[in-house]
Structure 1
Amino acid sequence: MKEVKSPKKPLLYYYGIVLLIIALFNLLVTPLLNRRSIEEVDYGTFMSKIEAQQIEKVEIDDDEIYYTEKGGKTVYCTGVMDDPSLTERLYASGATFSRDVQKTMSPLLSFFLTSIVPLLLFLALGRYVGKKLVEQAGGKNAMAFGKSNAKVYVQSTAGIHFSDVAGEDEAKESLAEIVDYLHDPKKYTDVGASMPKGILLVGPPGTGKTMLAKAVAGEANVPFFSISGSEFVEMFVGMGASKVRDLFSQAKEKAPCIVFIDEIDAIGKKRDGQFGGNDEREQTLNQLLTEMDGFEGNNGVMILAATNRPESLDPALTRPGRFDRRVPVELPDLKGREAILRVHARKIRVGDDVDFHTIARMAAGASGAELANIINEGALRAVRDGRKTVTEADLEESIETVIAGYQKKNAVLSDHEKRVVSYHEIGHALVAALQTDSAPVQKITIIPRTSGALGYTMQVEQGEKNLMTRGELLAKLATLTGGRAAEEVALGEITTGASNDIEQATRIARAMIAQYGMTDEFDMVAMQTTRNQYLGGDTSMSCSEQTQREIDRKVVELVRTEHERAHSLLTEHRALLDQLAQVLYEKETITGEEFMRILHAAQKEEEHHA
């Protein structure tokens, strides 16, 4: 899209203000600070000092006499008297003396020449240079504070369109209706329908909220104003509100048009009414509320806004009549991930062996931005290997790079550590394979990664799962504890390698008890609430201390039960654990197919012996 930029304010004006302050300080304040302390005395004191030979230096002016005593820094001043023998007495006392024979200038004239004239010259020069810079920038007023600096896009064939956005079909449908209304409003007004004044795009980071707004700009034949919520925040109270007024003033002049405010939570947070709050932000929000639903109205001005913190927005901003429609832009499902991968794969050369469905299954839970990064990492890997096409192995490795980081080429594990990591990862994989509710194992590796992982086991679901049963969660807990259980069974000791497993198992067990109602004791009572669901999902307990202690006891009991189950499974299949760990120790990386082939062969051999 072609962007029409408003002229920027010349920086010379800001520098000029600073230089002006410095100049005034040097001209007016510094002389006063540097002025010597002068003490006035009578002429008799001056004469007695001469006779006592205590005077070191004397300066005689037309009206006054200045002198300093020997070893002193204070300047004394006295008036001039008719004393013809003064010079002889000064000479006899050993003092150095001189007379200023030049006529002093009038104080008023001196101030005019040293202060006023340089200031006028400086202002004239600054105005001339500033005018030239403004003319070059195409602007008229360089000091226009409170003006909106929104970027204005006009229609262009080289921009982003709905065809470039995949995986968010519901969001595109809602926004396509808005674009259609802007193209042909009569079709809607004939029925009596009116379009929403504001549309709020909500979702996790990286899901494509800003890209959808750009697609609207690419599809619409109307002016498109784009600005970030943080650009309304100013140091001076009232400047943000002034920017809002100016933005909507421009939008009304070019209606019908679209205004897009990114990260609107920067100015749209709830007003708490506490003393000493952010008055500037609240005034900006009040002005935005007035512009969206005031007496004048904004016919033809459609407002899009994006945020990943919808729960923090002020209720007055999200009520009907302002942001009438909320469009969720969630993480893509399996079909959406495959479509997004195909869209980004248009920019690279893809080999014939690439199966985007498989890559999409492996990238479960990835956002659109992460999927774009996976495609780019795969292309970079192909270039590093000297190839001109991207293979499926490149994309699979790029998924691991995004999840766990790059392989640490120089990381050297001791023989004992390598064996411990082998048993740990095989413990995860074997416990998962011996349970019916676990996801299939895709890959096992003991190659260290830059994220700090010394190895990992990748499990990939066959299809898209939106719900998890209690049995599946218990199987996941057992799988997470399988690494520590393998260390206990095979080596008789435990290591620090299970820290991440412990963290995940604790979080799942606590959610089962306090959030999912999967316990008989608390039934369907929520003991824990989730905040910032799109930004990590922080949780907070909403129960008494006694109940929280009981929840903690239940969490420990649940994790311990699954840990014991994993321990018994690995003890029962100890020979298989040793065999698989030895294979992983030698190969360092095995695929899920290799793992299952060894497992099935061992199970058939056990059945044959039985």
Structure 2
Amino acid sequence: MDEKKKRQSMILYVIIAVVIVLILRSVVYPSVSSGAVKDVDYSTFLEMVDTNKVKEVQLNTSTDAILFTDGTGQDATTYRTTLFPDDTTLVSRLEKHNVQFSAKIEDTSSDIWLYMLLIYGLPILLLVLGGWALNRQLKKQAGDDGPSMNFGGGGFGMGNMGKSGAKVVAGKETGVTFKDVAGQDEAKESLEELVGFLENPKKYEAIGAKLPRGALLVGPPGTGKTLLAKAVAGEAKVPFFSISGSEFVEMFVGRGAAKVRDLFKQANEKAPCIVFIDEIDTVGKRRDAGLTTNDEREQTLNQLLTEMDGFDNHKGIVVIGATNRPDTLDPALLRPGRFDRRVPVELPDLAGRKAILALHADDVKMDGDIDLDVIARATPGASGADLSNIINEAALRAVRMGRSRVTQEDVQEAVEVVIAGEKRKSTVLSEREKKVVAYHEIGHAMVAAAQKGQAPVSKITIVPRTSGALGYTMQVEEDEHYLVTKEEAMQQIAVMCGGRSAEELIFKEVTTGASNDIERATKLARNMVTQYGMSDKFGMVALGQVQNRYLGGDTSLTCSEGTAQEIDAEVMRIVEEAHQNALQILRQNQFKLHELARYLQVKETITGEEFMNIFTRDNDYLPKASE
């Protein structure tokens, strides 16, 4: 049930409670009176008695309240006052003026019962009636009529609180097949076998093969793990149960285990089917004996392990889990017989990126001359979600520009928007700052162009972006690289140092503009020392361990404190060596540095072709990193 329906249910509950209170109040305190009662003071009462205006008096002995009238019939007015203490002359005064008087003793026994009813009975009645009404509403919205109460799962709840909450979609209604998934050919091949078993299990049983009980999709965010799971159900045309791992974890112990039992009970009734658990690391984290253990989460995990062992896989129930933190999963969950198959869903390569762009481009009206290969080369490391966003941003830009079709310019600008953010039109750089940024970016580009093996420059700009960058230099690889040599890594660090080196060489001072360059250069140098074994001092020794590889890949050192200090010194040496290499290249091409920086300062944005035409003109010697 979504939040809107929940709010509607609560509003209905409040309305019912208010109506019940109003009804009870009208019953307990009926607003029926013979006429208005006028309050007066005691002296006025005595004065009216002495002037023979009072006809009838009634005294309430419990509250000392006096009700009296000045006549009889419908024209009489009723007054109220309070008996004055120690007044012994009132009775004789009333007798003297022929006033009829009487005393009333109230029966307080009914007030006690009324008090008990209001204090205890009314809240209980409201709770029962309101809960009953809310329960019926929840059942109605969930498609399950009847006001039944649920006591399962170790906790008390109303309605479907013990239910799994899984979203059930018929396989043919998922709307996704393997044709809708691009850039993950290896993952699709691994999952096609599951589709074949779900479609024709007898073919596998005839040879004695057993269907894998579960498949674990592992990869970075945005690579299409959920899409692949839906595609399996769509291809096999079987029901698709979808639930997030966080929905199992409850505050009350036992509730999560009850949801697991209910999920597999429903799956068993609708077999063959797919059970998809997204972000399974939420419930499947490794168990330990630490003080921070969560009993509810561990009970839920134990129940999940039991259910995966207990169901009959001949019926065709396949559990597909997705996570980007496989290193945190419990080993018992990963053993054969539970998640038998681990399917990597990695970031797409060049061919995969091109296929994904083409898939999403089919849904958008685009010019026929758009070169998606250029876009694929400009987006290394982009996930399927990133590429889909690029196509969508290009379509939005085409609408803003008043065009009916997406052009190559729209797509290229969309790449820059996704990478660096929108242009900051409100930021106006001073001439001094504009000059510094121009030299900084040309410094990057010249060091990259002068070194062998570096990606060619495709664009240089000094237009500020919303990401905080005051300018950037875009490089595009000609071919896909899967290995990086030590020399190439040193050249990459030198390119990162090119901007700061240009500032030092021309302005004899440094700015804060190189902060991101310094961060990236230091990270790469540290990885060379601790992970890649590219340090002459430490050799081929692993000094760090990668954690959360699919979520940034932070490294924690696995060495002594003394070794850590030596690592810091080696990292500084590598960065400084690349820094000096960048300075040497810029000194030998200082005239070109001035020429290109002035040209960029005027035009603000230049292409890689414009840059190379000026850089290589009358320049027969290009220094290399080894020189």
Residue identity in the other structure for 2:438:
S
The whole-number CA distance in structure 2 between the counterparts of 1:551 and 1:128 is: 67
Question: CA contact under 8 A between 2:9 and 2:137: conserved in structure 1?
Answer: no
In 2: Cα distance, 1:553 partner to 1:120 partner: 73
Distance 2:385 2:472 in 1: 24
Letter in 2 for 1:102: E
Q: Deviations over 1:422-457 (max 9, x none)?
A: 100000000111111211111110000000100000
Query: In the TM superposition, what are the counterparts of 1:49-60 in structure 2 within 5 Å?
Result: none
- The whole-number CA distance in structure 1 between the counterparts of 2:16 and 2:522 is 58
1:308 CA displacement: 0.5
1:102 corresponds in structure 2 to 106
- 2:235 is matched with 219
* Corresponding position: 1:484 with 2:500: yes
Paired residue for 2:137?
133
Amino acid at match of 1:487: E
Q: Which amino acid is the alignment partner of residue 133 of structure 1?
A: Q
Which digits, 9 at most, give the CA deviation of each residue in 1:301-345, with x for residues without a partner? 110010000000000000111001000000000000000000000
CA offsets 1:521-540 (integer angstroms, 9 cap, x no match): 21111011110000011111
For the 8 Å contact 1:359–1:396, the answer to whether it is kept is yes
Structure 2, unpaired ranges of 5+: 26-58, 65-84, 92-101, 149-157
Specify which of 285, 291, 299 is matched with residue 269 of structure 1.
Answer: 285
How much does 1:160 deviate? 1.1
SS in 2 for 1:408: coil
Deviation string for 1:377-418 (max 9, x for gaps)?
111111111111111111111111100001111211111111
Give the corresponding residue for 2:581. 565
Q: State how far apart, in whole Å, the 2-side matches of 1:392 and 1:550 are.
A: 50
Q: Which residue of 2 aligns with 1:414?
A: 430
Once residues 525 and 605 of structure 1 are traced to their aligned partners in structure 2, the CA distance between those partners, rounded to angstroms, is: 39
Which of 545, 551, 554 aligns to 2:570? It is 554
1:327 aligns with 2:343: yes
Q: CA deviation at 1:605?
A: 9.9
User: Which position in structure 1 is the counterpart of 2:299?
Assistant: 283
* Counterparts in 2 of 1:593 and 1:10: CA distance versus 1, 3 Å: closer
SS in structure 2 of the partner of residue 539 of structure 1: strand
Q: How big is the shift at 1:273?
A: 2.3
For 2:478, the equivalent position in structure 1 comes to: 462
- Residue 101 of structure 1 and its aligned partner are, at CA, apart by 3.6
Distance 1:325 1:296, change over 3 A: closer
* Identical columns (%): 56
Shift of residue 471, structure 1, vs aligned partner = 0.8
Structure-1-length-normalised TM-score: 0.83
Deviation at 1:376, TM superposition (A): 0.6
Deviation for aligned residue 1:117: 6.4
Taking the TM superposition and a 5 Å limit, the aligned residue runs for 1:179-578 are 179-275=195-291, 277-294=293-310, 299-578=315-594
SS at match of 1:347: coil
Q: Counterpart of 1:88?
A: 88
Offset of residue 135 of structure 1? 7.1
**What's the CA shift for 1:295?**
8.2
How far residue 102 of structure 1 moved from its aligned partner, in angstroms, is 2.6
Using the TM superposition, give the Cα deviation of residue 14 of structure 1 relative to its aligned residue in structure 2, in angstroms: 10
Which one is further off, 217-226 or 573-582?
A: 217-226
Please say which of residues 105-114 and 171-180 is displaced more in the overlay. Answer: 105-114
User: Which 10-residue stretch deviates more, 378-387 or 130-139?
Assistant: 130-139
SS at match of 2:172: coil
Q: Tell me, what secondary structure is at the counterpart of 2:310?
A: coil
Structure 1's 569 and 122: CA in aligned 2 closer, same or farther, altered over 3 A?
closer
In 2, the alpha carbon distance for the partners of 1:445 and 1:554 equals: 34
**SS of residue paired to 1:364:** coil
Q: 3-state SS of the aligned residue for 2:209?
A: coil
Task: Note the alpha carbon deviations across 1:545-578, whole angstroms, 9 max, x for none.
Answer: 1111111111111111111111111111111111
- Aligned residue for 2:581, secondary structure, equals helix
Displaced runs of 4 or more, over 3 A: 7-20, 60-65, 85-91, 98-101, 106-138, 294-299, 604-607
Moved more, 8-17 or 384-393: 8-17
SS in 2 for 1:399: helix
Does structure 1 residue 592 correspond to structure 2 residue 608? yes
3-state DSSP of counterpart to 1:462: coil
Q: Are residues 124 and 15 of structure 1, via their aligned partners in 2, closer, same or farther at CA, if it must alter by over 3 Å?
A: closer
Question: How many residue pairs were aligned?
Answer: 543
Q: State which drifts further: 152-161 or 537-546.
A: 152-161
Structure 2 counterpart of 1:570, one-letter code = L
Q: Is the 8 A contact 1:292 1:298 kept in 2?
A: no
Residues 1:249 and 1:17: Cα distance change in structure 2 (over 3 Å): farther
Once the two structures are superposed, residues 497-523 of structure 1 have per-residue CA deviations (whole angstroms, 9 ceiling, x without a partner) of 111111011011111111110122211
Equivalent residues of 2:261, 2:303 under 8 A apart:
yes
Q: How many Å apart are 1:13 and its aligned residue?
A: 11
Cα gap change, 1:101/1:213 in structure 2, threshold over 3 Å: closer, same or farther? same
Q: 2:494 touches 2:581 (CA, 8 Å); kept in 1?
A: yes
Q: Unpaired segments of 5 or more residues in structure 1? A: 28-59, 66-84, 92-97
Deviation at 1:294, TM superposition (A): 3.3
One-letter code aligned to 1:334: L
Is the 1:167–1:339 Cα contact (8 Å) retained in structure 2?
yes
Distance (Å, rounded) in 1 between the aligned partners of 2:127 and 2:595: 87
* TM-score, normalization by structure 2: 0.80
- Give the letter aligned to residue 88 of structure 1: T
Contact 2:174 2:233 in 1 (8 A): no
Q: 1 CA distance for matches of 2:86 and 2:266?
A: 81
Could you tell which deviates more after superposition, 471-480 or 212-221?
A: 212-221
CA-to-aligned-CA distance 1:269-319 (integer Å, 9 cap, x gap): 011123462111110000000000138778421100100000000000001
| Structure 2: distance between partners of 1:203 and 1:483 | 34
Amino acid aligned to 1:230: S
Distance 1:536 1:89, change over 3 A: farther
3-state SS of 2:88 partner: helix
Q: Distance in 2 between matches of 1:136 and 1:558?
A: 68
Cα distance in 2 for residues equivalent to 1:438 and 1:535? 27
Give the partner amino acid of 2:591.
A
User: Which AA in structure 2 matches 1:169?
Assistant: D
Conserved? CA contact 1:291–1:297, under 8 Å = no
For residues 7 and 254 of structure 2, the distance between their equivalents in structure 1, rounded to whole angstroms, comes to 19
